[in-house]
Chains A and B, each alone.
Chain A
Amino acid sequence: MSRTMTQATTLISVALRAAADPGVQFEVTHVEGVQVDDPTENPTQASDWALGESFVSYGRGTRLELRTRRTGRAHLGPNEAIPDIVKRAISEDIPVVEDLEAAQLGGRVTTWRGGTSGYPDFFFNFADKLDILLTLRDDDEQWSPADSESLSVLLSQVAKAAGVSVELPITFVRFPSAGFNSSQRLSASEHDSDPLLARSVSLRLTVGLDQSDPRARLAFLVTLADMAAGRYELRVADRRFGSISGQWVLISDPAVGRSKAQDAPEPTVSTTDQGRSRAALLTILGPSRQGAVASVTAMLRTVGMHPRAVTCLSLHDVAFCHFEIDLTAKDGGREATWTQLDRNGNLSDLIERLAPEMANHRAAERHAARDYLYLRGNVFTPPPGPSGVWHPVWSSWEVRDAPAVTASSGTVEQLRDRLADHELVEDCQPEYYRFRRASSAQIVERVKFRIRLETLTWETVQDDLAAICREAQHAMRLPGGWAPPDDESSASLPRSSAQRPRLVSLRVAPRERWLGTWLDDPR
């Protein structure tokens, strides 16, 4: 429960949700060692989940797919009953998961299906949000276990500062995320407030703000500024009138105050050969609660599991914390421990296995950990990271009068092909993509691509990117430029022209903030 209990309509909508939608069904897919440019390794999942939300994220040679839906009458198909696994979760009041053995791609794909009773006790209502961007170092060329360790330290510190010290809920975490190159950093120009790199060693974090505690935002920022001083580059979303998310202001420059920032521990550096690096995927899921991300990251750090990539977000009141764990350990025995773990289970079991010395934590805390599940992937050798300089491209759109049953409108693939076909573009890959069915006939999608240019000239890169995006957007918007998703379920039915799927408000932009003008709702 949280402070929004002071707002009547939030309270009622939570009660209505609890009344109408008992339980949430989810599906988590891990794909390891994926070459994203190979279309055969990116099978589009056919789905019959009429109303749901999904998130696909590409890590360092991995892919994560999350899909959720409520299991209320309004979100199930006409002849569907509440799935058994959700019924079980509701009756046992803990999330339940089952492991589906998948033979796709030589066993590199693992899918879990599960259900939870839904958590309508997370009543936070955001009046506003705060985005921060922390850059660890300049380039993303070489990843070493030392970086994993510093990321682990940084992540747990930031999550604690937000989730515990000032009690602000963390709604989104992503690493690596879009960042700034060194030349942009030197110029203090207003026009360089947008990231030019699709991937940098940057941690992006979003916390929700409400009006009940006006001091929390600044208290959090002060903590971060002190923490980052001399070590990291810290940027926050611009708070000036007319600014929207994606416009960054530099708060802490590593060059400033380096001498004073000796109070935070430096990561213990261990050098390991890049080629021998081993990794595994780990997803932790459970109720979206205040401090959940902070606890999970603190736990990982305590048991010595350091991530290479992180994605945390909440879909349908279920928090998903997804990590790509670096298993290249100092002592070398971690990989063996990992493979002995159950493929999925309770979080408290995971802690017991990984850190037996911590097993005697208090009963109340064990009870809280009982609500969280872990899903463990196989150990794999990460493929080498993509070479060259990649630039970000954001896009969002709506599909109206969409077919009743589809998990994807196919627009991502079409847009990707359009961008890749451009003469200036050498390669185009998705970074993440989010799909949401706002209503039975309306799909909202948002995607971030990374593109590599044929020839990179830093002086003209902004113009080149703008031109590429503009052309792709025009081409998609032209009549016939967009192919509506196939709808097998109703193909035989005669449809009037008014009911054909339409692509609405498509935007393709090299800047995140151009997706919505600042006239839009800040959320």
Chain B
Amino acid sequence: MSDSAQVKHHGQELLERAVTALPLPTAPPARSTRDVLGLHLIESALRLEHVDRVSEQLSLVDATHMARAIDIDVDIDGMPEGKEIALRPGGESASTQAPLYVPIARHPRESLGPVVLRDGNGNSLPRLTSRTTNRLLAAGMIRLFRTLASADGGPQSLRGGDLVPTWLIEAAILALIEDGRRDWPVIRHGTSMAAARKTAIDALPSLFTNDITPLTQAMWETPPVKGSYPGKAPRSGDSPHAFYKLLNALTADQFIIAVLPPNPRQVRISYDAPELRGNFRPAIRRIFLPTRDFTMDYETRIPADVDSFHVSIRVPSALEVRRFLMTSDADTGATTAVLYDIENLAHLIEKTAADERRSLLTRSERAGVSSRLDEILRRRAEDYREYQLYLDKLRDRGGFNRAAWRIDKGDPTDMTALLKVTRGGRRLVTMHRRVSEGSPLITTGDLEQLASYGQLLHDAGLGWDLHVDNDPRESAGHIQWRRHATGLGLQRDQTVRAKVFLSLSDANPTTAWQVLRFTVFNLLLVMVLVGSLWWFQRDQAADTSEITQSEVLVTLLLLIPGLLLNRLDLAPRHSVVSRLQVFPQAAAWGSILVNVLLAVAIAVIPANTIEDLRIFVYGVPVIVLLAFVIAVGSYTLAERLSRRITVPPFEVVPAWLRNETRTLPIHLPARTSVTFIEREGDVDV
């Protein structure tokens, strides 16, 4: 993890480049004076304490674009003490009836279209222009920079009489946030760099450092105490400074700020968010996927104080929702803590194998780790049960046959036994349900064994929980996300990353069958025509009627498949349906092409050519068409079989769930689906 400290955060790079590229200012950059309001807006936009409920209605526009209609319930009373006054432009001196600036969301600047906010009655609500918003936020960030520069332990170089370095950094922050400029030329000043610019660049590392300045620890020398203090523990959290992360987020995203009257206190705001673009995937690669469905995932963030989050989806009637799942990292913090504790426990056991003084400590650590691990596994088992019920509902809908849930033999009693049975995490969750009740999971274990528990638990991704479609329907779905009532010893109000997984299949699965029938018929037609032609040509060596026969054959070869092809329903080129049918379509067009080539050959080649050539001309098309029939046939068969896969083997689906019914070897990496991501990196709230 220490390597990650060497990698520059994108925000850091942006700031350094801007400081390098901007001209040296000769006066303080003009900025908004409402810097405290700007800081309050940033804080409020990150935490969104006033947002109670969020519901998102997703709809696929085409295979690479997704539209979202977002409903947000805003409760002004949910703001912390003093926030309401702080978000009122004018502050305390303003009238209590003055409107508030309320941040409600943020969206990537690059995909931003006009956003119209509407309240529950459908009336449109005013919102700050992006220019005003960014001016306020930039002023807030400059305020933050000044606080850091003047704090204890801040850089001395910025405190002298020369203010140009400070102005330069401020100008850089302004240029980044107000203009949203993310593309800076790399300028190498070399030795000719101005002194002020050099001061500014040199001050950045000490300005934005995570290191502690232990001001008092060496104040007095204590008399040496015998006994072993452990050496200073190595730091593992070399995370980038929050200022850089904020700067990156503010430059990349546009904050949406509504101007709301102080009354009513509860408002429902609806708007259409900018469309998201998914990553493009060449159609040819999809042939090798284990499922024939169109799969997509969508990643979003659930604000810290939101208790209830809804995602619903509506798809065109030509499509069928095969799976609709959501997974969130709500328990990831607790799982990481347990993993660290297991690691610590391993070191403790290693160091104090026979030290009686630490035996009670080791025992209590074991008990602590066991009980929390048990709770995490219990939650996953609960999620798994929900998933089974979901599959039962799907079966009732007539989607597919229910798979048998296999359970291995053997009764694990603790973690070591569990490890033997689960083989790399396979069926870890269901096996855990069979661990003898009441016995702690971790009772024994040396360093190596504990390390393998850690690896197993890490690989299983136990921190990701699962939420399923609560009422599976043909062309719609709805998932509700709720917070767990009980924390796992960590803060409950954290921002949660959620990933939605959607698997769509053709609602009219006969398309593949139609194509199969078409190719089979075409093959038979070609075989009959070619056979009859061969027969005629063998009997009548040179006849005047042969040209007429060829014309009839060519007409039949071109006309009949053309008529059949017209009867196939082919979807628009970019739609999801056409993505699903891309292979059958290609087969249909391919067999037409074979017919055309064959017809041309028959028309061109004179009847009295040598026999070998004729065999070649008539034989190859038949073989190619036969290959098409086999390919489409196996595709259709695979499509049928893929309906039996209980857990889609995709990366978005948590590993522990995939392990429960894994049909592919465990070491094979999971597949990726078409991904719609709103934001890449994000700030910790």
Which residues of A are in contact with B by a Cβ distance under 8 Å?
Answer: 1-3, 5-16, 18-20, 73-74, 119-121, 127-128, 156-157, 160-161, 163-167, 211-219, 221-223, 225-227, 229-230, 236, 238-242, 249-253, 256-257, 260-261, 263-265, 289-292, 294-295, 298-299, 301-302, 351, 358, 361, 365, 368-369, 371, 438-440, 518-519, 521-522
Contact A226 B358, beta carbon cutoff 8 Å: yes
**B42 located at the interface, meaning its Cβ lies under 8 Å from any Cβ of chain A in the complex:** yes
Contact B212 A167, beta carbon cutoff 8 Å: yes
Closest 9 CB pairs of A and B: A212-B237, A239-B368, A214-B340, A291-B217, A229-B357, A240-B371, A6-B239, A439-B81, A15-B147
Query: Which residues 204-255 of B sit at the A interface, judged by CB distance below 8 A?
Result: 208-223, 225-230, 232-237, 239-243, 245-246
Contact B358 A19, beta carbon cutoff 8 Å: no
Q: Shortest distance in angstroms between A443's beta carbon and chain B's nearest beta carbon?
A: 13
Assuming the contacts A221-B361, A240-B371, A257-B356, asked whether A295 and B217 have C-beta atoms less than 8 A apart, the reply is yes
Contact B487 A522, beta carbon cutoff 8 Å: yes
Contact A12 B215, beta carbon cutoff 8 Å: no
**B684 located at the interface, meaning its Cβ lies under 8 Å from any Cβ of chain A in the complex:** yes
**B121 located at the interface, meaning its Cβ lies under 8 Å from any Cβ of chain A in the complex:** no
Assuming the contacts A5-B209, A212-B235, A438-B81, asked whether A218 and B344 have C-beta atoms less than 8 A apart, the reply is yes
Q: Which of B144, B151, B222, B370 has the most CB of A within 10 A?
A: B222
* CB neighbours of B609 from chain A (8 A): none
Among B153, B209, B228, B345, the residue within 8 A (CB) of A121 is B153
Q: Shortest distance in angstroms between B560's beta carbon and chain A's nearest beta carbon?
A: 68
* CB neighbours of A20 from chain B (8 A): 36
Q: Which of B92, B232, B242, B352 has the most CB of A within 10 A?
A: B242
Contact A9 B357, beta carbon cutoff 8 Å: no
Q: Shortest distance in angstroms between B349's beta carbon and chain A's nearest beta carbon?
A: 11
Cα separation A325 to B90 with both chains bound (whole Å): 52
Query: Closest B-chain residue to A157, C-beta based?
Result: B225
Assuming the contacts A9-B46, A290-B212, asked whether A16 and B219 have C-beta atoms less than 8 A apart, the reply is no
* CB neighbours of B43 from chain A (8 A): 9, 12-13, 16
4 more A-B residue pairs beyond the given contacts A215-B340, A302-B221, with a C-beta to C-beta distance below 8 A = A8-B46, A239-B367, A256-B357, A361-B219
Among A7, A13, A365, the residue within 8 A (CB) of B684 is A7
* CB neighbours of A14 from chain B (8 A): 147
Assuming the contacts A163-B217, A227-B227, A302-B223, asked whether A213 and B372 have C-beta atoms less than 8 A apart, the reply is no
Q: When each residue 355-391 of chain B gets 1 if its CB lies under 8 Å from chain A and 0 otherwise, what string results?
A: 0111111001101101110110000000000000000
Assuming the contacts A294-B217, A298-B222, asked whether A166 and B230 have C-beta atoms less than 8 A apart, the reply is yes
Contact A212 B236, beta carbon cutoff 8 Å: yes
* CB neighbours of B365 from chain A (8 A): 218, 239
* CB neighbours of B370 from chain A (8 A): 240
Query: Which residues 102-155 of B sit at the A interface, judged by CB distance below 8 A?
Result: 143-144, 147-148, 151-153
* CB neighbours of A3 from chain B (8 A): 210, 212, 235, 237
**B337 located at the interface, meaning its Cβ lies under 8 Å from any Cβ of chain A in the complex:** yes
Query: Closest B-chain residue to A221, C-beta based?
Result: B361
7 A-B pairs (CB sep. < 8 Å): A8-B246, A156-B222, A223-B230, A239-B367, A290-B216, A295-B216, A301-B222
Q: Shortest distance in angstroms between B253's beta carbon and chain A's nearest beta carbon?
A: 13
Q: Shortest distance in angstroms between A208's beta carbon and chain B's nearest beta carbon?
A: 13
Cα separation A294 to B214 with both chains bound (whole Å): 11
Contact A215 B489, beta carbon cutoff 8 Å: no
Contact B683 A8, beta carbon cutoff 8 Å: yes
Contact B217 A219, beta carbon cutoff 8 Å: no
Contact B490 A222, beta carbon cutoff 8 Å: no
Cα separation A267 to B347 with both chains bound (whole Å): 32
* CB neighbours of A221 from chain B (8 A): 361
Contact A263 B226, beta carbon cutoff 8 Å: yes
Assuming the contacts A120-B151, A219-B230, asked whether A19 and B36 have C-beta atoms less than 8 A apart, the reply is yes
Contact A128 B360, beta carbon cutoff 8 Å: no
Q: Shortest distance in angstroms between A367's beta carbon and chain B's nearest beta carbon?
A: 9
Contact B219 A166, beta carbon cutoff 8 Å: no
Cα separation A27 to B252 with both chains bound (whole Å): 47
* CB neighbours of B345 from chain A (8 A): 218
Query: Closest B-chain residue to A300, C-beta based?
Result: B220
Query: Closest B-chain residue to A7, C-beta based?
Result: B684
Q: Which of B211, B216, B333, B341 has the most CB of A within 10 A?
A: B216
* CB neighbours of B148 from chain A (8 A): 15
* CB neighbours of A9 from chain B (8 A): 43, 46-47, 684-685
Cα separation A261 to B211 with both chains bound (whole Å): 36
* CB neighbours of A440 from chain B (8 A): 81
Cα separation A457 to B153 with both chains bound (whole Å): 58
Contact B486 A518, beta carbon cutoff 8 Å: yes
Cα separation A97 to B233 with both chains bound (whole Å): 39
* CB neighbours of B241 from chain A (8 A): 5-6
Q: Shortest distance in angstroms between B218's beta carbon and chain A's nearest beta carbon?
A: 6
* CB neighbours of B347 from chain A (8 A): 215, 218
Cα separation A368 to B235 with both chains bound (whole Å): 25
Q: Shortest distance in angstroms between A285's beta carbon and chain B's nearest beta carbon?
A: 13
Contact B42 A12, beta carbon cutoff 8 Å: yes
Contact B242 A10, beta carbon cutoff 8 Å: yes
Query: Which residues 326-355 of B sit at the A interface, judged by CB distance below 8 A?
Result: 333, 336-337, 340-341, 343-345, 347-348, 351-352
Contact A8 B685, beta carbon cutoff 8 Å: yes
* CB neighbours of A298 from chain B (8 A): 219-220, 222
**B296 located at the interface, meaning its Cβ lies under 8 Å from any Cβ of chain A in the complex:** no
Contact B214 A225, beta carbon cutoff 8 Å: no
Q: When each residue 179-223 of chain B gets 1 if its CB lies under 8 Å from chain A and 0 otherwise, what string results?
A: 000000000000000000000000000001111111111111111
Q: When each residue 479-513 of chain B gets 1 if its CB lies under 8 Å from chain A and 0 otherwise, what string results?
A: 00000011111111000000000000000000000
Q: Which of A161, A251, A518 has the most CB of B within 10 A?
A: A251
* CB neighbours of B235 from chain A (8 A): 3, 212-213
Contact B236 A261, beta carbon cutoff 8 Å: no
**B572 located at the interface, meaning its Cβ lies under 8 Å from any Cβ of chain A in the complex:** no
Among A121, A230, A294, A351, the residue within 8 A (CB) of B151 is A121
Cα separation A165 to B233 with both chains bound (whole Å): 8
Among A156, A157, A253, A290, the residue within 8 A (CB) of B217 is A290
Among A6, A74, A226, A238, the residue within 8 A (CB) of B82 is A74
Among A1, A161, A230, A238, the residue within 8 A (CB) of B368 is A238
Among B218, B348, B356, the residue within 8 A (CB) of A218 is B348
Assuming the contacts A11-B242, A238-B368, A518-B486, asked whether A263 and B227 have C-beta atoms less than 8 A apart, the reply is yes
Cα separation A522 to B488 with both chains bound (whole Å): 9
Contact B490 A128, beta carbon cutoff 8 Å: yes
Assuming the contacts A8-B684, A223-B230, asked whether A295 and B143 have C-beta atoms less than 8 A apart, the reply is no
* CB neighbours of A157 from chain B (8 A): 225, 227
Contact A292 B210, beta carbon cutoff 8 Å: no
Contact A12 B39, beta carbon cutoff 8 Å: yes
* CB neighbours of B240 from chain A (8 A): 6
Cα separation A249 to B360 with both chains bound (whole Å): 9
* CB neighbours of B352 from chain A (8 A): 222
* CB neighbours of A290 from chain B (8 A): 212, 214-217
Query: Closest B-chain residue to A293, C-beta based?
Result: B216
Assuming the contacts A218-B348, A241-B372, A252-B357, asked whether A369 and B219 have C-beta atoms less than 8 A apart, the reply is yes
Cα separation A11 to B368 with both chains bound (whole Å): 32
Cα separation A519 to B489 with both chains bound (whole Å): 10
Contact A226 B357, beta carbon cutoff 8 Å: yes
Q: Shortest distance in angstroms between B635's beta carbon and chain A's nearest beta carbon?
A: 49
* CB neighbours of B236 from chain A (8 A): 212-215
